[in-house]
Amino acid sequence: MGLIEDIKKNKASYLMIAPYMLLFTIFTLIPVVSSIFISFTNYNMLQPPKWVGWSNYIRLFLSDKIFLKVLRNTLIFACLTGPLSYFMSFFLAWFISEFNPKLRAFLTLVFYSPSLAGNVFFIWSFIFSGDVYGLINGWAMKLGIINEPINWLQDPNYILWVIIIVQLWLSMGAGFLAFVAGFQNLDRELFEAGAIDGIRNRFQELFYITIPQMAPQLMFGAVMQIGASFGVSTVVMALGGLPTREYSADTVVTYLIDYGTVRFEMGYASAIAVILFIAMLLTNKVIASILRRYSFD
Amino acid sequence: MSKKATLAWRKQNRSMAGNLVIFAILAILGVFMALPLIYTIVNAFKPFDEIFIFPPRLYVRRPTLDNFVLLFQLATNMWVPFSRYIFNSLFICVVGTVGHILIASLAAYPLAKHQFAAKRIINEVIVLALLFTPQVTYIPLYIIMSNLKLIDTYGALIFPAWQMTLGLFLMRQFMTQIPDALLEAAKIDGASELRIWWRIVMPNVKPAWLTLMILSFQQLWNQTGGSFIFSESLKPLPTLMSQIAAAGIARAGVGAAVALVLMIPPIVLFIISQSSVMETMVNAGIK
């Protein structure tokens, strides 16, 4: 069946999607496709783009040592904070779901408030401030753990870890909310059936009944988490500056912002984005195939 | 079986030791999450000399409203009235959020529940788009906006918010869980697709769109307008707040006050919508 006939037959479906798709095409699809095109050009925003083929990509991998460093940082963030945040938000949502509604609402608020409060993470720059007035330095010196203040946000030995901590603090995001909502949407009869069929503890219940039902939320959470852990940037720039000292905590995204908004090398910046996109895509495929194994359908 | 019976089954499957471990984890993580926020709130009420003492304190000895008074004075002395910034922010947040929920969930319903040719490809494209870093689409986006004459209008912030992939994806994921039987029953009764969406699908995914409301509001609330909004009289609240806070160390207390003021609306909205989520679950229709 051709597309035209299909549209005629399912007119209602297409009409309902139309407003969204129109906006989506204008504000997401066209920009994304054109940025892939720009990645094959040299473009400084003043002169028209000049086609250069693969040269941006070749430069990225063969002659840009800093790129390899920021790639390493990004992978550290993605491999550490990604799974940690994901499991933390899932298990916290699960713990919370067992409480009565009032307590559940309160705990959800406690865990979600860091993400809710928006730009409040700047408070971490006071906590990890490099002078004696920083909370950590002040107390570590008072208690005699260290003799002089540590410059947490400038010292390449520490900054990566500080950002991991802040990132974890911020990580109860959209995925966490979806999990909390998902746990409330579960089919209660299945739990009763499970209990009759000999489910003995909460972990069996979780694996055999809850997780298969939560597949859509688990997928949503995973996609959001991939985006969050590969996209670490705001916290890095707010705490460490752009770029951080010796690029010790820079990520692919801050590197991209550096090239895109400071040096105006749009072609190169777009190539960086495309590489990041491909990395996220591959991760997504792997996670989707794992999750599919655990769901009902 | 009644709800009480469920609870009885559940109790049987819960061990005391497990409960203790869970409480311990919740307590530790809860403190970790809450402390920085409490520190922000405390700092907002600290007089200047208390902000710089050694060692730093997690409480305030002589609480003062000075920081808020100073913030208020700074805000009233602007040539654009303070109320205008508040209006801008609220307008962008409300129109952006409501439009996003309606447009995204209208599209999510057929994508979750109907069968048609373009469904698979649209679903794939949405997931792909979700993974694309927004920072790099910035230049093409600017060019498109300027061609549509959206630069320096509320539209530059509102229209892109209406099509955030986040919302469509979330709504679609939740709508797949609605039983087909429910929709077919409505169809047999002669309801149109639009009616089914509004009367059956939307009430059944209330937790989802309340979640989306929080996410969307929060994202819009923290938006600064970037390089799409130039006239001062159209800028949202966070730009003003960051200008005040940017004045540096002398304003450290004011900075904390600003943060506190900015974080109140999303938190209030969150508390309100949370209670409606619970209400829905009590009267949940389908499960």
Does B12 score more than 70 pLDDT? no
Dihedral-angle region of residue B152 (phi above 0 means left; psi in -120 to 50 means alpha; beta otherwise): left
Enter the pTM of the model: 0.83
Does B284 score more than 50 pLDDT? no
> pLDDT at position A187, please?
72
Instruction: Give Cα separations from A212 to A163, A174, A218, A261, A291 (angstroms).
Output: 34, 20, 9, 44, 9
Alpha helices in B135-192 (DSSP H): 138-147, 155-162, 165-175, 180-188
**Dist CA A281 CA A277 (whole Å):** 6
Report which DSSP code applies to A41: E
pLDDT, tens only, B143-196: 899 899 988 889 989 999 999 988 898 899 889 888 888 888 888 988 888 899
Q: Which of A1, A185, A280 sits opposite B207 (nearest CB)?
A: A185
- If 0-12 CB within 10 Å is exposed, 13-18 middle and 19+ buried, where does residue A132 land? middle
pLDDT, tens only, B86-110: 899 999 999 999 999 999 999 999 9
**Dist CA A146 CA A144 (whole Å):** 5
Q: In 3D, which of B213, B235, B98 has the Cα closest to residue B166?
A: B213
**Dist CA B216 CA B158 (whole Å):** 11
Q: How many CA atoms lie within 13 A of A270 on its CB side?
A: 28
Q: In 3D, which of B260, B229, B198, B221 has the Cα closest to residue B38?
A: B260
- Whether the CB-CB separation of A39 and A274 falls below 8 Å is answered with yes
> pLDDT at position B286, please?
40
**Dist CA A181 CA A112 (whole Å):** 13
Does B31 score more than 80 pLDDT? yes
- Whether the CB-CB separation of B33 and B219 falls below 8 Å is answered with no
- Residue in chain A lying closest to B100 (CA): A20
Give the count of beta carbons closer than 10 Å to the beta carbon of residue A46.
6
Give the count of beta carbons closer than 10 Å to the beta carbon of residue B219.
20
Does B287 score more than 50 pLDDT? no
Contact at CB, B133 and A9, closer than 8 angstroms = no
- Whether the CB-CB separation of A217 and A259 falls below 8 Å is answered with no
> pLDDT at position B278, please?
57
> pLDDT at position B6, please?
53
Which residue ranges of chain A lie beneath pLDDT 70? 1, 294-297
How large is the average pLDDT for residues B238-254?
70
φ, ψ of residue B128 in degrees (nearest 5): -60, -45
Dihedral-angle region of residue A134 (phi above 0 means left; psi in -120 to 50 means alpha; beta otherwise): beta
- Residue in chain A lying closest to B223 (CA): A118
Give the count of beta carbons closer than 10 Å to the beta carbon of residue A144.
7
**Dist CA A275 CA A262 (whole Å):** 20
Q: Which of A24, A35, A223 sits opposite B137 (nearest CB)?
A: A35
**Dist CA B187 CA B157 (whole Å):** 38
- Residue in chain A lying closest to B156 (CA): A27
At B63 the three-state DSSP class reads: coil
Tokens of B158: 């509102």
Interface test with B, best of A3, A10, A17, A258 (most B CBs within 10 A): A17
> pLDDT at position B4, please?
52
Tokens of A133: 């007035």
Q: How far is A2 from chain B (nearest CA, A)?
A: 9
> pLDDT at position B271, please?
87
Tokens of A141: 């010196």
ipTM of the complex: 0.83
Contact at CB, B263 and A10, closer than 8 angstroms = no
- Whether the CB-CB separation of B33 and A113 falls below 8 Å is answered with yes
Specify the DSSP element, H or E, that contains B222: none
Percent of chain B at pLDDT exceeding 90: 15
Contact at CB, A23 and B170, closer than 8 angstroms = no
- Whether the CB-CB separation of A241 and A130 falls below 8 Å is answered with no
pLDDT, tens only, B136-156: 787 788 889 989 998 888 998
Please tell me if residue B149 touches chain A, with a CB cutoff of 8 Å: no
**Dist CA B45 CA B251 (whole Å):** 13
> pLDDT at position B110, please?
93
